[in-house]
């Protein structure tokens, strides 16, 4: 024995080699004796490479194989723009466009011969990136605490649980830096949402954080929390989201740690599934009653978030709102191209209309009823880029929601592992080691800079088109390629003009009522 040990110590290289060979021989016999994995059985030892390569495939494609415009949902050019903007680096591109401008659907923003002069721009709070909402949430319905968002770009619903605590903190602090509001997601208000930004509390079918001991929604629990936290500026009732409408939420058990279980009132380690429908209402009238109850009890503006499927619901909602002269203060429309922490593939790919189609249907339904302008319209679904946001604003959106783009700004590398708890960037995981690499203070600066840089480009585009505020964009400012050498205006293409907005001058929108 002593002789063997001495040999091992004297021959470390050969010892390791023998150990590795020994391991491979054992692996060989284990592989051929198992029947669970055909490839591993038929190609013992090397068959494992397939699983390893499949595992790191997205990263390999990202870094080596895919070209700049190829990857989905966000290609390298888009990600580069977000990363550079978030770091405050040069986000310009050299040599000219690499886009196929004649491709059907390609949008062109039409500049004016005489732009809005930069030197005439009024900077609210001396912040050249400030773009306040023209509309005030809750104004029409005379809520006690109306809310004018300081920023037309805001952070969309993503729960603590789906995201790590460091990611939620980074987004919350980043939102504060940029004056944006931060939507809690259906997981409810967590301690990581308390870093100072305005918060919109989302309530989904699980009523997390607003339920009693039996798991039922309780208005008093909600009211107490709203009273205790004056930075909660609005409540958003989630009917559905684009990536999994009609499905409810799924937080995989691996992500349900003791803290999340406590915040949500659920069991540790078990899949946390929100039901696919609400227990507090099951038709339009009851939905309006529920909205009004929350608004009366809290004094806050109350809105809904939904993806768009059947149009009958929206028609009925609009008619009922007109008849009763009450209802949601804001409506967030999520496109079918929207993101998620976890969703069945068919839902993500095929259920609910993409943003432009869904928004157009709902907006025009309300327009026919003459009630469009009483609502603050929010758009979501890959809108976190100036060109896409301009199109959404021209279609009638008042505010833009960004979710995955905000994740990218704090270091997400689009590994598409949100549903596994193995997010390598520490953004969408509860793994303590992985999230330790995400420094919330450093990354918050990036989230803030991304929103500010995004808004600066929006203002610049507005000025180029002769407007002072990006909300002044209309479907006449944009043309869309519809085939070989043919461009038509967005208005013609979508078949409607957005309701005129009553913009006066930037100074007039500089008042932000507090609670
Ligand atoms: C990780 C993750 C978690 C999400 N969680 C929620 C949620 O709790 N509630 C919700 O309404 N939407 C949720 N969404 C959808 C986003 O809020 C947003 O509507 C959608 O991703 C479209 O925006 P985007 O294209 O900018 O990502 C989530 C999205 C992601 C990526």
Distance, CA 447 to ligand 1 centroid (Å)?
16
Q: Of the ranges 27-31, 33-37, 288-292, 444-448, which one carries the lowest mean pLDDT score?
A: 33-37
Task: State pTM to two decimals.
Answer: 0.93
pLDDT: which is higher, 141 or 258: 141
Q: What is the DSSP string of 431-474?
A: -HHHHHTS-HHHHHHHHHHHHHHHHHHHHHHHHHTT-SSGGG--
Task: Quote the ligand 1 centre to 242 CA distance (angstroms).
Answer: 8
Rounded to the nearest angstrom, the distance between the alpha carbon of 162 and the centre of ligand 1 is 10
Task: Find the mean pLDDT for residues 429-450.
Answer: 96
Cα 325 to ligand 1 centre (Å)? 30
Ligand 1 atom nearest to 335, measured from its CA: 22
Query: Could you read off the pLDDT of 140-165 as tens digits, one per residue?
Result: 999 999 999 999 999 999 999 999 99
SS (H, E, C) 46-114: CHHHHHHHHHCHHHHHHHHHCCCCCCCCCCHHHHHHHHHHHCCCCCCCCCCCCCCCCCCCCEEECCCCC
Average pLDDT, the chain: 94
Q: So what's the pLDDT on residue 144?
A: 98
Give the residue extent of every domain in the chain: 2-81, 107-509
Residue 332 Cα: closest atom of ligand 1 = 19
Band of pLDDT at residue 452, cut at 50, 70 and 90: very high
Residue pLDDT, tens place only, 343-363:
899 999 999 999 999 999 999
Average pLDDT over residues 404-411: 97
Sign of CA dihedral 280, 244, 266, 186: negative
Rounded to 5°, the CA angle 61-408-174 comes to 165
Q: What is the pLDDT of residue 284?
A: 98
Q: In this predicted structure, what is the pLDDT of residue 286?
A: 98
What are 287-300's pLDDT values in tens digits?
999 999 999 999 99
Alpha-carbon span 178 to 433, nearest angstrom: 29
Query: How far, in Å, is the centroid of ligand 1 from the Cα of 164?
Result: 14
Domain 107-509, what architecture? Alpha-Beta Barrel (3.20)
For tokens 């768009």, the residue is: 308
Q: How far is the CA of 402 from the centre of ligand 1 (A)?
A: 8
Does the pLDDT value for residue 266 go beyond 80?
no
Distance between Cα 135 and ligand 1 center (Å) = 24
Lowest mean pLDDT among 27-36, 151-160, 304-313, 366-375: 27-36
Best residue for ligand 1 mutational test, from 158, 200, 264, 426 (most atoms within 8 Å of Cβ): 158
Size of the chain, expressed as the number of residues it contains: 515
Atom nearest to 382 CA in ligand 1: 25
Query: What DSSP string runs through 233-255?
Result: EEEEEES--TTSTTT--EE-GGG
Q: Please choose from 168, 181, 185, 423 the residue to mutate so as to test ligand 1's pocket, defined by most ligand atoms within 8 A of CB.
A: 185
Residue 63 has pLDDT above 80, yes or no: no
Mutate to test the pocket of ligand 1, among 181, 184, 248, 339 (most ligand atoms within 8 A of CB): 339
Confidence of residue 10 (pLDDT cuts 50, 70, 90): confident
Return the pLDDT at 137.
Answer: 98
DSSP 175-194: HHHHT-EEE--TT---GGG-
Distance CA 233, CA 513 (A): 10
Average pLDDT over residues 7-25: 90
Token duo for residue 280: 């507090």
Distance, CA 340 to ligand 1 centroid (Å)? Answer: 5
- Overall average pLDDT of the 159-175 stretch: 97
pLDDT at 1 over 80: no
Pocket test for ligand 1, best of 162, 167, 205, 241 (most atoms within 8 A of CB): 241
Q: Tell me, what's the pLDDT at 8?
A: 80
DSSP 11: -
Mean pLDDT of 456-465: 98
Looking at ligand 1, which residue's alpha carbon is closest to its atom 21?
339
Measured between its terminal Cα atoms, the distance across the chain in Å is: 79
Q: How far apart are CA 49 and CA 240, in angstroms?
A: 40
Question: CA 288 from chain center: how many Å?
Answer: 26
Which of 401, 513, 421, 470 minimizes the C-alpha distance to 175? 401
Closest ligand 1 atom to 185 CA: 8
Q: Is 305 helix (H, G, I), strand (E, B) or coil?
A: strand
| Angle, in degrees to the nearest 10, between helices 284-298 and 219-228 | 40
Atom of ligand 1 nearest to the CA of 384: 26
Q: Closest ligand 1 atom to the C-alpha of 236?
A: 11
The rounded distance, in Å, linking the Cα atoms of 207 and 186 is 7
Q: Which residues line ligand 1 (CB under 6 A)?
A: 156-159, 162-163, 185-186, 202, 238, 241, 305, 334, 338-341, 380-382, 384, 401-405, 418, 428
The best mutation among 338, 381, 382, 409 to test binding of ligand 1, ranked by most ligand atoms within 8 Å of the C-beta, falls on 338
């Amino acid at each position: 024995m002593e002789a063997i040990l001495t040999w091992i110590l004297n021959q470390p290289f050969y010892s390791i080699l023998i150990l590795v060979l020994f391991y491979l021989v054992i692996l060989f016999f284990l592989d051929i004796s198992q029947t669970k994995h055909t490839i591993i059985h038929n190609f013992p030892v090397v068959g494992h490479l397939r699983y390893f390569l499949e595992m790191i495939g997205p990263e390999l494609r990202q870094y080596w194989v895919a070209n700049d415009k190829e990857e989905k949902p966000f290609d390298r050019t888009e990600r580069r723009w977000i990363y550079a903007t978030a770091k405050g680096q040069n986000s310009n591109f050299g040599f000219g466009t690499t886009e196929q401008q004649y491709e059907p659907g390609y949008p062109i923003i039409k500049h004016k011969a005489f732009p809005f002069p930069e030197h005439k721009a009024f900077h609210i709070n001396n912040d050249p990136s400030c773009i306040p909402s023209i509309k005030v949430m809750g104004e029409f319905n005379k809520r006690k605490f109306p809310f004018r968002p300081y920023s037309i770009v805001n952070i969309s619903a993503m729960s603590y649980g789906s995201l790590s605590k460091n990611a939620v903190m980074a987004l919350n602090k980043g939102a504060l830096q940029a004056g944006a509001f931060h939507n809690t997601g259906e997981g409810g208000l967590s301690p990581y949402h308390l870093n100072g930004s305005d918060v919109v509390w989302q309530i989904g079918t699980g009523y997390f954080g607003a339920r009693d001991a039996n798991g039922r929604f309780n208005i008093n629990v909600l009211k107490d929390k709203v009273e205790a936290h004056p930075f909660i500026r609005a409540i958003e009732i989630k009917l559905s989201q684009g990536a999994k409408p009609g499905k409810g939420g799924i937080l995989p058990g691996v992500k349900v740690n003791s803290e999340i279980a406590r915040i949500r009132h659920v069991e540790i380690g078990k899949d946390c599934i929100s039901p696919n429908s609400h227990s507090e209402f099951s038709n339009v009238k009851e939905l309006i009653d529920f909205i009004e109850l929350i608004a009366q009890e809290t004094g806050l503006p109350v809105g809904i978030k939904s993806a768009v499927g059947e149009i009958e619901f929206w028609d009925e909602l609009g008619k009922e709102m007109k008849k009763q002269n009450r209802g949601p203060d804001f409506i967030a429309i999520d496109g079918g191209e929207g993101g998620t922490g976890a969703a069945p593939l068919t839902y993500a790919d095929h259920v609910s209309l993409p943003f432009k189609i869904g928004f157009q249907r709902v907006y025009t339904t309300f327009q026919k009823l003459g009630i469009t302008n009483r609502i603050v319209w929010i758009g979501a679904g890959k809108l976190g880029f100036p060109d896409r946001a301009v199109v959404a604003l021209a279609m009638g959106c008042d505010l833009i929601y960004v979710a995955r783009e905000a994740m990218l700004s704090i270091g997400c590398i689009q590994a598409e592992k949100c549903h596994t708890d193995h997010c390598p960037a520490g953004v969408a995981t509860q793994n303590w080691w992985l999230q330790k690499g995400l420094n919330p203070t450093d990354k918050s600066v990036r989230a803030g800079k991304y929103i500010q840089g995004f808004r600066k480009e929006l203002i610049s585009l507005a000025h180029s088109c002769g407007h002072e505020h990006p909300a002044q964009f209309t479907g006449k400012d944009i043309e869309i390629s519809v085939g070989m050498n043919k461009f038509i205006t967005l208005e013609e293409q979508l078949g409607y003009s957005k309701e005129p907005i009553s913009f006066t001058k930037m100074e007039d929108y500089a008042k932000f009522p507090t609670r």
